[in-house]
Amino acid sequence: MHRKWWILSLVVAVLAAGLAGGCSSPIPRRDPTGELFPSVTGEALSGDRVSIPESFAGAPVLLLVGYKQNTQFDLDRWLLGITQAELDVAVREVPTIAGLVPGMIGGWIDGGMRRGIPNEDWGSVVTVYGDAKVIQRFTGTENPMPGRILLLDAQGRVIFFHDRGYSVGSLKKLEAALPGI
């Protein structure tokens, strides 16, 4: 009987902590163009540990950051546009999920993503849990539905940023930023 109460108390405490973390105030949106991307660590769906921006030092990388599951629609449009425009840059999707509970069930969340993504693409999806707040503070979480699109140069500096949803015009601006790196 005591074990049941202990387990129930633990579940309630975890849920309360998760809800408290999930109810935080939105961080104002900000444009970090010109700034160095903060050092964070995530794990690709392939199982590889990835340090951003360090793992991409010496070459540009395009980060498609999503804070909500429904952001995937926007990121998919970006991926289609990037592919059709044949942009020559490494691309990484970065699901960024803050909070105690998501961090605890990250393996389950990643497993769900693996079921919807072909395994040949698993290396290009880097999920960030523990350092999620770092990225959120860097771009802001106000209106979290559109993706945060960040082009980093070879040194990890943001040279293009967009957070208002995909458009052909924004893709053209991204394309124009590429020759400069």
CATH number, residue 119: 3.40.30.10
CB 29 within 8 A of CB 163: yes
Residue pair 21/105 in contact by the 8 Å Cβ criterion? no
- pLDDT, residue 143, reads 93
For residue 38, how many other CB atoms are within 10 A of its CB? Answer: 14
Q: What is the mean pLDDT of the chain?
A: 88
Which tens digits make up the pLDDT trace of 112-150? 889 989 999 999 999 999 999 999 999 999 999 999 999
Residue 23's pLDDT is 52
Average pLDDT over residues 33-42: 98
Least Cα distance to 97 among 107, 106, 108 occurs for: 106
13-17, 77-81, 98-102, 157-161: the lowest-pLDDT one:
13-17
Q: Tell me if 100 sits within 8 A of 17, measured CB to CB.
A: yes
Look at the chain and report how many structural domains it folds into. Answer: 1
Residue ranges making up the domain that contains 135: 2-180
The reply to whether omega before 53 is within 30° of 0 (cis) is yes
Question: Tell me, what's the pLDDT at 19?
Answer: 41
| Residue 22 reports pLDDT greater than 80 | no
Q: What's residue 103's pLDDT? A: 81
In the chain, the amino acid numbered 37 is F
Question: Across residues 14-32, what is the average pLDDT?
Answer: 66
Average pLDDT rounded to a whole number, residues 100-120: 87
Per-residue pLDDT at 176: 96
Better-scored residue on pLDDT, 24 or 169: 169
Q: What was the pLDDT predicted at 11?
A: 41
Taking only the tens place, the pLDDT of each residue in 63-92 is 999 999 999 999 999 999 999 999 999 999
pTM, whole model, 2 decimals? 0.85
